[in-house]
Amino acid sequence: MTGPSGANADAPGANAKSPRPSNAAEAAKFAESTKLAVASPTTRLRVARAMGRRVLGVLLLLVATVVVLLGVIVGALFTLLTVPWRPRLGRIRRVVAIAAVYSATEIVGLIAAAGRWVRFAVDRDAARDRRDRVRSLDKSLRILRRATERFGGLEVVQDADTRTLPAGPLIVCGRHGGVGGAFLLAQILLCEQDRLPWVVLKQTLSWDPLIDALLSRIPHAFIDPQPGDEGATAARVGELARGMSADDALLIFPEGGNFTPRRRLHAIRRLRRRGLAKAAARAARLRHVLPPHPDGLFAAIDTAPESDVVFVAHTGLEHLQSAADLWRALPLRLPVVFTWWAVPGAEIPESAEARVGWLEEHWAQIDRWVAEHRAPQPGVERLDTGLAG
């Protein structure tokens, strides 16, 4: 689910770029998307499950908010009593502050979403509803990034070689490298590059009530890829890429999950078990990224051949793989560095074999860039070099 740190505005969302007005065709398209198809029992079951998930998600959020509120009260009292001796924010207070901002953003965002739902039920203006959701998403991401910068020590640095993204629709391929990288990349695309990300996310993120509410009228796909799905996941990604405008960017993560040394080894062994010796050897040469799954990306390219492909590399978060890692790392002491480069759609090979080689070449370039820019992580290096074989 990742850029100069340009979100430090005087007020969150104050400098957000307003989404461009939707045309009549777009309005009709999104108005149609709001109609629930009830002819199929499968559709009714899916809608019922989604409603149940949303209700349960909101209840869990309320419970978490109460816990965070208690933590804020205790943290405030502790700060008042100890500030003469502990003027700097401690780890506990940093975590509580970030959690408080996150909970407040969720609650306020859901209240605003409820207001939009009521208004849409009256005026049925899908285009305006979508624009308002995009603005709300923009503001929420800005607030969360500013809170992480203020309390978590986040600093984002854009590589000197990175330039403004090319004009036209884009397919953006990012590496999965640590907690928060995907959201940071989405924030950079929306808030700094004026591109609406059409995101491919893991199904588990649909349990976040605000994500679910904001994305309901923005093209996206929650996926839960399973072995032997006969290309169903790739087909969904390909269908998602249909109809992108010049202001849109399909955001996809071909690795399928966050990089860890153990996942890297597992991926290499899986390729060997499948008899793909050459692919396993190429994957073994990648030290800092997982071998990419090409099906979803290639389906998107086939659906939107006019789109340029942007490869994104970043480093600085790969050591954050769990809540425990995040706890130990706060405040972050090293910057998160981003770079990207674009490949024109006309330069993408058409044959399957040549296209695989093209993807592997760019993925190896991401790997080399990460190797040159990442901070030393002794524990990770020991596991990587000791078990790769």
Q: Give the pLDDT confidence of 73-82 residue by residue, as tens digits.
A: 766 666 655 6
Confidence class of residue 377 from pLDDT cuts 50, 70 and 90?
low
Q: Give the pLDDT confidence of 93-102 residue by residue, as tens digits.
A: 888 888 889 8
CB-based burial, 6-28: b 16+ in 10 Å, e otherwise: ebeeeebbeebeebeebeeeebe
Q: Give the pLDDT confidence of 118-162 residue by residue, as tens digits.
A: 898 888 888 888 889 899 999 999 999 999 999 999 999 987 666
3-state SS string for 24-65 = HHHHHHHHHHCCCCCCCHHHHHHHHHHHHHHHHHHHHHHHHH
Q: Where are the beta strands (DSSP E) in the chain?
A: 156-158, 170-174, 196-202, 220-223, 248-252, 308-315, 336-343
- Extents of the domains making up the chain: 32-150, 157-387
Distances (CA, A) of 208 to 60, 62, 131, 158, 160: 9, 12, 21, 29, 35
pLDDT, position 61: 64
Domain over 157-387 is classified CATH 2.60.40: no
Average pLDDT, integer, range 164-191: 90
Confidence class of residue 48 from pLDDT cuts 50, 70 and 90?
low
Q: Give the pLDDT confidence of 191-222 residue by residue, as tens digits.
A: 999 999 999 888 888 788 888 888 877 888 88
pLDDT, position 161: 67
pTM: 0.77
Whether the pLDDT of residue 32 is over 50: the answer is: no
Rounded CA separation 200/220 (Å): 6
Average pLDDT, integer, range 298-309: 94
pLDDT, position 97: 86
pLDDT, position 130: 86
For residue 331, whether the previous peptide bond is cis, meaning omega lies within 30 degrees of 0, is yes
Q: Give the pLDDT confidence of 266-288 residue by residue, as tens digits.
A: 999 999 998 889 989 999 999 99
pLDDT, position 248: 94
pLDDT, position 360: 93
pLDDT, position 82: 60
Average pLDDT, the chain: 79
